[in-house]
Amino acid sequence: MIQPPLGLYIHIPWCVRKCPYCDFNSHANGGVLPEAEYVAALLDDLQGEWQRTDGSRPISTIFIGGGTPSLFSGHAIQTLLDGVRARITLATDAEITLEANPGTVEAERFAAYVEAGVNRISIGVQSFNNRQLQALGRIHNCGDAERAARLAADLPLASFNLDLMHGLPGQGVDEALADLRQAIALNPPHLSWYQLTLEPNTPFYAAPPVLPEDDTLADIQEAGHALLLAAGYEQYEVSAYAKPGQQCRHNLNYWQFGDYLGIGCGAHGKITDGAAGTVLRTVKVKTPKAYLAASRGRSEQLTTVTAEDLPFEFLLNRLRLFQPFSLDEFEALTSQPATLLDAGLADAEAQQLLTRDGRMVNLTQRGRRYLNSVLTLFLQD
């Protein structure tokens, strides 16, 4: 089993206010932000996670996500990244992303993040329509979103991303396309375009707003996709679009079944032990209070993925990436024989969900559309 590339995910669990559709591990900060204490806990956490690896692989990407990492001061992010660099081996060309909310952005803060080593910023715009932003419970307005994007564009960053959502309450095709056009006009190298989902345990789930009908959702999807392609973006995952060469390397590594250390509240990690032929999954304690209170051992769960589960886990991630994969890649990352996939591949091919060319496997357009059906065929194996 080969040791795949290694990333690092760092979770910052606070937001100014909790959005009614969001099920991420985020907590309204209530005006209190134990920045220094949390950074110290993160670095302690990292020390332990790094020891789980054999130290031979440099970290090639870092993603500081949330929550709202841009609530943290430039000084806190500098201390965090200095501490990371002191504890692990970081690739010289590492991609370092930080998620920012337009409502929490200040010019000085963005510049300080770059000074600290951040070279990619991901901005949660969601929509440029003030009525929609209000319905989504966002604390920013359309002007804030534009200002944040222009700030990012003017900084010496390798790239930046805008997050947009569609299928919003009462949204029609024209309104969804207007949002996309406004985003495209800001020329982000990367654009994440998510369809709003109603997640259990959120206020939107308990009292759903009126969302567009399925037909309208399909029309939005088709017209938006065409607009993005015409503007020079390539779709490389269900919701991810990028200009050529501007894919998010950190997320690519997840979908290519790569490894990552996960530190911070509720963070997930995946670590391959090539020699033992095993994959370890880690999950950290979820609440900020419990995480900060733990002096050591912040893992809530440590699970070794069984050999039987590895093939499906590989496909679950890899098929989200709209790129062909080889059966050699499958064998190298799971240490399982590719013949295990034979029955599922034959069924999927017969249903025109994917094509096979020797050892290469590729989803068809139909397969991309009905990804869950494709996966079900392998679950039966």
Name which position in 3, 6, 10, 26 contacts ligand SF4 (CB under 6 A): 26
Q: Which is nearer to ligand SAM, 65 or 212 (CB)?
A: 65
Site for ligand SAM in 98-117 (CB under 6 A): 99, 101
Name the residue with the smallest CB distance to ligand SAM: 124
Q: Are 262 and 269 in contact (CB under 8 A)?
A: yes
Instruction: Using alpha carbons, select from 285, 306, 303 the residue that is nearest to residue 294.
Output: 285
- E strands within 42-128? 59-66, 90-100, 120-126
Site for ligand SAM in 187-226 (CB under 6 A): 194, 196-197, 199
Answer yes or no whether residue 264 interacts with ligand SF4 by CB under 6 A.
no
Tokens of residue 211, six digits: 């969302």
Answer yes or no whether residue 22 interacts with ligand SF4 by CB under 6 A.
yes
Answer yes or no whether residue 102 interacts with ligand SF4 by CB under 6 A.
no
Taking the complex as a whole, the smallest distance from the CB of residue 125 to ligand SF4 amounts, in Å, to 11
Binding region for ligand SF4 (CB under 6 A) out of 21-29, 217-225, 321-329, 358-366:
21-29
Answer yes or no whether residue 28 interacts with ligand SAM by CB under 6 A.
no
Q: Which does 344 bind (CB under 5 to 8 A by kind): ligand SAM, ligand SF4, none?
A: none
Q: Is the dihedral of CA 355, 361, 364, 368 positive or negative?
A: positive
Cβ-based neighbours of 102, under 8 Å, separated by 6 or more:
123, 124, 125, 140, 144, 145, 147, 148
Q: Please tell me the distance from the alpha carbon of residue 350 to that of residue 318, in angstroms, as a whole number.
A: 21
Taking the complex as a whole, the smallest distance from the CB of residue 371 to ligand SF4 amounts, in Å, to 24
Apex 252 CA angle, 249 and 257, nearest 5? 130
Tokens of residue 70, six digits: 């841009």
Q: Which does 65 bind (CB under 5 to 8 A by kind): ligand SAM, ligand SF4, none?
A: ligand SAM
180: Cα separation from own chain's centroid: 20
Site for ligand SF4 in 44-73 (CB under 6 A): 66-68
Q: Could you tell me which residues are beta bridge partners of residue 302?
A: 282
Q: Which does 18 bind (CB under 5 to 8 A by kind): ligand SAM, ligand SF4, none?
A: ligand SF4
Name which position in 4, 7, 117, 124 contacts ligand SF4 (CB under 6 A): 124
Q: Which is nearer to ligand SAM, 233 or 312 (CB)?
A: 233
Q: Please tell me the distance from the alpha carbon of residue 20 to that of residue 198, in angstroms, as a whole number.
A: 10
Taking the complex as a whole, the smallest distance from the CB of residue 80 to ligand SF4 amounts, in Å, to 18
Taking the complex as a whole, the smallest distance from the CB of residue 331 to ligand SF4 amounts, in Å, to 38
Tokens of residue 259, six digits: 């490894």
Task: Collapse the DSSP code of 40 into the 3-class scheme (helix H, G, I; strand E, B; otherwise coil) and give the result.
Answer: helix
Q: Please tell me the distance from the alpha carbon of residue 326 to that of residue 361, in angstroms, as a whole number.
A: 6
Interface with ligand SF4 (CB under 6 A): 15, 18-19, 22, 24, 26, 66-68, 101, 124
Note the residues at the interface with ligand SAM (CB under 6 A): 21-22, 24, 65-66, 68, 99, 101, 124, 126, 163, 165, 194, 196-197, 199
